[in-house]
Structure formats: structure tokens, C-alpha cells
Amino acid sequence: MLPSSALAAVEKTTLLSIIAGLIKPTQGTVLLENKRITGLKNQIGYMLQQDYLFPWKTIEENILIGLKLSKQLNEQTKKAAIDLLNQMGLSGIETQLPKQLSGGMRQRAALVRTLATEPKLLMLDEPFSALDYQTKLKLEDLVSNTLDSFGKTAILVTHDIGEAIAMSDRVVLFSPSPGKIHKVFEMPDELRNVSPFNARNHEAFSSIFQKIWKELDSLETGKK
């Protein structure tokens, strides 16, 4: 999902809240697996720009919060969460506090917290925008591979055209206020079947980037 830069942040937030079932739409219906979404019981996970880890809790306590609140916490789900932490390259940090970790490590811990409850749908709201470029590229690959491994569907909100192309099966371009779907770009298999890092370096990347850029520019200038 690639909003025009003129699209107000409140519209993006409203849309995500409607998808999550937090706000009732004035028109239309949101379906997940052909069932109407009502509240958080459908297990929709969020990954945000800020990790929102509780600074006074250890990493282990942080990643288990979702399980505890949803009353899914038991020895089996706890072990699965710790195993996932290890898979993310964060083994041995369970007793550390968030302030002891780098920004990239905190975002990985936040992803573990989100995935631990096994949500059916993940919403990624500019999750890499606060990170340095190198860390951003590494996390794009890590998150993409993790979602593929778990067979998860995700909605990524970003203003970064390159990130949208590299991480997505399709890119949905939104028009400015009121926010409407302007155009949908299906990503070719040669980009969908490689990692985000390799997608950025693929020969097909540049032409798709230019197409989306042209459409985005037309929205902002009002020209076709």
C-alpha cells in the first residue's frame, strides 16, 4: 500500500483501524477468510514504526505480552516464542532490557511479539522508516522471509516506492483526500520470487519503479 504523500496520516490510520475491526466502516464490509471482522478476536497483528516495547520489562516478558493478554500463554506457546526469538538471531537476550538493544534488534523482538500469537493477518505500518538504511535492508529481507516461512498475509504501509516493490506481491496506490484506490500494480514473478534485497538489484525493478513514480507524480500534480 503506497499512499500519495498528500494523503493525510489520519486516513491511513483510519483505514488500518477499520481493517483491524477497531472502527466500524460507514460503508462496506471487511472480510477475513470470508468472515466479517469484528474487534481484535480475529488476531490481526501490528508492526509499527516504533517498537513499543515496555522499557521496564525484559525482552522475554515483552514478547510474551500478547500471549498473556489473549490468554494463550502456556509452556508450549512460551517455548515457541523463545524459539522464534532464536530464529531471529536474538538468542541469549531474553533477560535484557530494550535499552540494551539496537533499533534493529528491538524491531525484531517486536516482530516476534506480533507473530507469537499467530495472527492471521499482519499490518506493517512503516516499520522500517526509523532505521538506518543498512539495517532497513536487512530487516526487509528478514521480515519477508519470516512471513513466507509462516505463510502469513501482510499489508505494508509505506511511502518508499522501492520498499513497496521489493517486499510486495502487489502495490496499491492511494489517491489524496479522500483516500481512494487509484491503481494496483501486480509485481512480476521475477521480483516476487527473490529476496527484497535482490529485487532492488533486478533489471525489472527500475521500469516498475518508474511506472509507479509516474502515477504518484500525476496524483500530486493533477496531470496525466
- Give the gyration radius of the chain's Cα atoms: 18
Asked, for residue 54, whether it belongs to a domain, the answer is yes
| Beta-ladder partners of 174 | 3, 181
Q: What is the pTM of this model?
A: 0.80
Asked, for residue 68, whether it belongs to a domain, the answer is yes
Domain of 82, in residue numbers: 50-102+112-117
Q: Kindly compute the dihedral angle of the four CA atoms of residues 58, 158, 201, 194, in this order, to the nearest 10 degrees.
A: 70
Asked, for residue 55, whether it belongs to a domain, the answer is yes
Q: Is the peptide bond before 196 cis (omega within 30 degrees of 0)?
A: no
Asked, for residue 69, whether it belongs to a domain, the answer is yes
Question: Which amino acid appears at position 205 of this protein?
Answer: F
Question: Which amino acid appears at position 170 of this protein?
Answer: R
Asked, for residue 130, whether it belongs to a domain, the answer is no
Asked, for residue 139, whether it belongs to a domain, the answer is no
pLDDT by residue for the chain (224 residues), tens only, comes to 544 333 345 467 777 778 877 778 888 888 887 888 766 555 788 877 788 899 999 999 999 998 998 888 999 999 999 998 998 889 899 999 999 999 889 988 998 998 888 888 888 888 888 788 888 898 889 889 888 888 888 998 888 999 999 999 999 888 776 677 888 999 999 999 999 999 999 999 999 999 999 988 887 776 55
State how many domains the chain has: 1
